[in-house]
Amino acid sequence: GQQVMQIPQYQHVQEGEDFTTYCNSSTTLSNIQWYKQRPGGHPVFLIQLVKSGEVKKQKRLTFQFGEAKKNSSLHITATQTTDVGTYFCVFTSGGSYIPTFGRGTSLIVHP
């Protein structure tokens, strides 16, 4: 069956340091989305990646989709306390339309 790992589960950083979370799949993904959930809040859509090797940027956030469409990453440059939250990858594979959430990476930023 489909196996997707999101790592790390937690990441503590000092404000100003960089942060990266990864989603790795054993099968080819159709597309991947990234969401952020602040503590006590609800998931908020960040980006969707569809093409092999796609790279998208939003200010300090960089999203990548691997060439084989089996992995994706979210990189935050120079973290700020406002970046605190849990980042989820959401994916589908094959002909499925069922969105599957990764377990999430919780980012803790120390001022």
- The interface region with other proteins, picked from 12-20, 29-37, 57-65, 76-84 by CB under 8 A, is 29-37
In order, the DSSP letters of the chain are ---EEEE-SEEEEETT--EEEEEEESS-EEEEEEEEE-TTS-EEEEEEE-STT-EEEETTEEEEE-TTSSEEEEEESS--GGG-EEEEEEEEETT----EE---EEEEEE-
In whole angstroms, how close is the CB of 73 to other proteins at the nearest point? 19
Residue in 44, 55, 68, 78 binding other proteins, rule: CB under 8 A: 44
| Per-residue contact string for residues 45-84; x = within reach of other proteins by CB under 8 A | x--x------------------------------------
Site residues, other proteins (CB under 8 A): 30-31, 33, 41-45, 48, 88, 90-92, 96-104
